[in-house]
Structure 1
Amino acid sequence: MVPQPPASRTKALSALILLTLLAAACIGAGQWQLRRAHERETLLAAIEAGRQAPALTLDAQHRDGPTWHPAKVHGHWLNPFTVLLDNRNLKGQPGLWVATPLELQDSPGTAVLVLRGWVARPLPPTTLPNLEAATGPVLVQGTLLHRVPRLFDLGSLTGQPDPALSAAFPHTDGQPPRVQNLPLDAPAAATGLDLLPVLLQQAPTQDAGLIQEWPGPSTNASQNYNYALQWFSFATIALIAAGVLTWRTLRRPPPSPHA
């Protein structure tokens, strides 16, 4: 056998370290995909359990409930405090979500924020249609959520997040304010209402021509399992290559002292 020079052994050792690190990174990515799959399976189970649960009634004494559970509430719409959530698409069409507080019938000054539905974004020179909800006592039914689904906020990366609601509410021009994301504490601070710690995603109904088709969270765990299998396959290939490299390096004799 031809003795292996020291430079070749150094290169082989470097390649072995890189292959080992690559395998470790692939294994870590595969494990992350498995965790995401388990999270989505848990979320799907919670959604299915909520759909089968009896509807909760929200009032001054029952202010909260599990996410994804159906709920109903009696009250009056507070149209002056309507907020529009921008960049909410439906089947590829740009539009807005309409959110309006509903004052509880048994507790004046206490309200629950309701995502009423979707409306297409008007193209100039057209304007938004009349979005005011019906006056008088109403019964609103829907699904409980603990936060408004968020969109990616580029400003959060630069330290300048999208502007929240103005302190002066409602606006003097009479037009509902537009925001991209709406944490529950924002309308509470802007309106002075005692908002419940949950919001209601309204079920399909007749409400100012709005469309109640809500995009649900992704629960496709099989996709994560497929990705995990790919990452583990890459790790296996890297480990096999490392094993072959180690075997070829060890079977060669060390360099001769007189080389």
Structure 2
Amino acid sequence: MRRWRRPSAFAWILLLLGLAAFLGLARWQWGRAQEKERLLASYAAAATAPLRQYATLPAALSAEEYPRIAARGAYVDGRGYWLDQQIHAGRVGRRALAVFRPSGDDRLLLVDLGWVAAPVGAPAPAWPPLPAGEVELRGIYAPPPGGGLRVGGDALARQNAWPKLTLFLDMAAVAADLHAAVAPRLLLLDADPSSGLVREWTPAVMAPEKHRGYALQWFSFAVAAMVIFIVLHWRKSN
């Protein structure tokens, strides 16, 4: 015959703390999954969204807003950045970031020209040729990519040759390097097969399904904690 043994105060505190932690983490992961779904949906909608003029954009955009824009201006000659260690289809490469001066705007705009393969140990890829004079660019106006190993301080200031190489994109460091104000977002150019660069714009984020998997895992830990608590206090009587 089994009987319930009264849990100690410490056991209750331990159980409640565990449940709060596990359920809190499960809820957080579930919320992150919903955020990633909205992010991916915004990216997908941007490809067919009505074109907006860069000059008419508000000073601040919501984190989930990715407008497709047109910007007139000219590329800044002799300036640009390679964003290194970028993975596409399982291959290592670089993203070419040109510097653009929009008409009627004091801020410079970084333009993502696309991805090119750059295997470790292979010669550096050639910088893509850019048109001279005034042009109109079209693409998605998106936040800069995150990630990258930030060690050794600002590597841009220590380089003299252009284009400069970086493992992460810090817009404040870029502004200091260019000695000019820089827009807080990038222009991800529309696809152009003749460019020789890959322009497949998808955010490099964890898939919503993985977040839901982690949420289920944390929820299962909460259930396991309850089961262990009951088993330990539902003892056979001697």
Give the TM-score of the pair, scaled to structure 1.
Answer: 0.73
Q: Distance in 2 between matches of 1:208 and 1:50?
A: 21
Q: Distance in 2 between matches of 1:81 and 1:207?
A: 22
Partner of 1:4: none
Q: Distance in 2 between matches of 1:195 and 1:181?
A: 16
Contact 1:84-1:179 within 8 A present in 2 as well: yes
Partner of 2:136: 139
Q: State the percentage of identical aligned residues.
A: 28
How does 1:204-219 map onto structure 2 within 5 Å?
A: 204-205=191-192, 208-218=195-205
Partner of 1:111: 108
Shift of 1:16: 4.4
Ranges of 4+ aligned residues in structure 1 off by more than 3 Å: 12-25, 44-53, 61-67, 122-127, 217-220
Shift of 1:133: 1.0
Q: Which has the higher strand share?
A: 2
Q: Distance in 1 between matches of 2:38 and 2:44?
A: 10
Shift of 1:252: 4.5
Tell me, which stretches of 5 or more residues in structure 1 are unaligned?
A: 2-8, 254-259
Letter in 1 for 2:130: A
- Give the 3 Å change call, closer, same or farther, for CA 31–145 of structure 1 in structure 2: same
Contact 1:102-1:114 within 8 A present in 2 as well: yes
What secondary structure, in the 3-state scheme, does the structure 2 residue paired with 1:75 have? strand
Whether 1:98 and 2:60 are equivalent positions in the alignment is: no
Moved more, 23-32 or 96-105: 23-32
Contact 1:111-1:193 within 8 A present in 2 as well: yes
Q: Distance in 2 between matches of 1:131 and 1:21?
A: 56
How does 1:1-259 map onto structure 2 within 5 Å?
A: 16=11, 21-48=17-44, 50-59=46-55, 62=57, 64=59, 66=61, 67-107=65-105, 110-121=107-118, 126-146=123-143, 148-153=144-149, 155=151, 160-161=152-153, 163-166=154-157, 171=160, 173=161, 175-205=162-192, 208-218=195-205, 220-248=207-235, 252=237
- Give the 3 Å change call, closer, same or farther, for CA 79–25 of structure 1 in structure 2: same
Give the TM-score of the pair, scaled to structure 2.
Answer: 0.78
Letter in 1 for 2:83: L
The aligned length equals: 231
Shift of 1:83: 1.0
Tell me, which stretches of 5 or more residues in structure 2 are unaligned?
A: none
Letter in 1 for 2:95: W
Contact 2:96-2:127 within 8 A present in 1 as well: no
Contact 1:51-1:68 within 8 A present in 2 as well: no
Contact 2:43-2:202 within 8 A present in 1 as well: no
Larger radius of gyration: 1
Partner of 1:256: none
Shift of 1:80: 1.0
Contact 1:41-1:221 within 8 A present in 2 as well: yes
Q: Distance in 2 between matches of 1:124 and 1:30?
A: 43
